[in-house]
Amino acid sequence: MLITVNLKDIIVDPKRTVDLTTLSREEAIELIQKSYGFLASATRVEIEGDMAFISFDEKKGQQIEDEAGKLYNRGVKKGESGEYESAVKLFERALQILPIHKDARRNLAMAHLEMGKKEEAKNHLIESVRLDPTDVWAWVLLGNIYAKHEDDLQTGARFYQKAYEINPNDPYLLTNYAAV
């Protein structure tokens, strides 16, 4: 598995922008490896120009994906019925099987937020955008947490702006961004 991310899109610190291009190659690689520590299978980080290439030793196989998918779907149903603790457990089990399951990670964050666990929600959303910097919903949810739950409009606006750059026509994003 290979993730290619522009260095400017890597969140090292959610409260402030860290320009990885101003650091030495070794420092940037070390920060990236720490940032992706939630994936224990991370094997290598390479930097070429303004891009980071993060490779993972990820077991592939339809059986693994199917098992994680079943747990994820059960978690979604639990979350929809308001059983957030059960949903969290199912999403966590899905991620143990398939750590790169971005939908399970984002929904895990939403379940934590519904249970009032903002820090856990933020951490999982940051992991989500590390896995997929084009995940508009993860950026919007991060913006919502900072703007609406923590009254940090500046950080919230930064995350909304990132989502806007990806999809400027998303009505949910535009409504939230306009409120800031």
Looking at residue 44, its pLDDT comes to 78
Query: Residue 112: pLDDT above 60?
Result: yes
Tell me what pLDDT residue 17 has: 80
pLDDT exceeds 60 at position 93 = yes
Mean pLDDT of 89-109: 91
For 27-42, write each residue's pLDDT tens digit. Answer: 888 888 877 766 655 5
Q: pLDDT tens for residues 144-173?
A: 999 999 999 999 999 999 999 999 998 888
Higher model confidence: residue 12 or residue 116? Answer: 116
**54 pLDDT tier (thresholds 50, 70, 90):** confident
* Mean pLDDT, rounded, of the chain: 87
90 Cβ partners below 8 Å, 6+ apart?
71, 72, 74, 75, 78
- Mean pLDDT over 73-98 rounds to 94
What length is written for the chain? 180
- Say if CB 173 and CB 140 are below 8 A apart: yes
Residue 103 has pLDDT above 60, yes or no: yes
The confidence score (pLDDT) of residue 41 equals 55
- Report the C-alpha gap between 44 and 104 in whole angstroms: 24
> In the sheet where 42-48 sits, what is the strand order?
2-6, 51-56, 42-48
Mean pLDDT of 13-40: 81
The span from the first CA to the last CA of the chain, in angstroms, equals 37
What is the CA angle 34-37-40, rounded to 5?
145
pLDDT of residue 84: 97
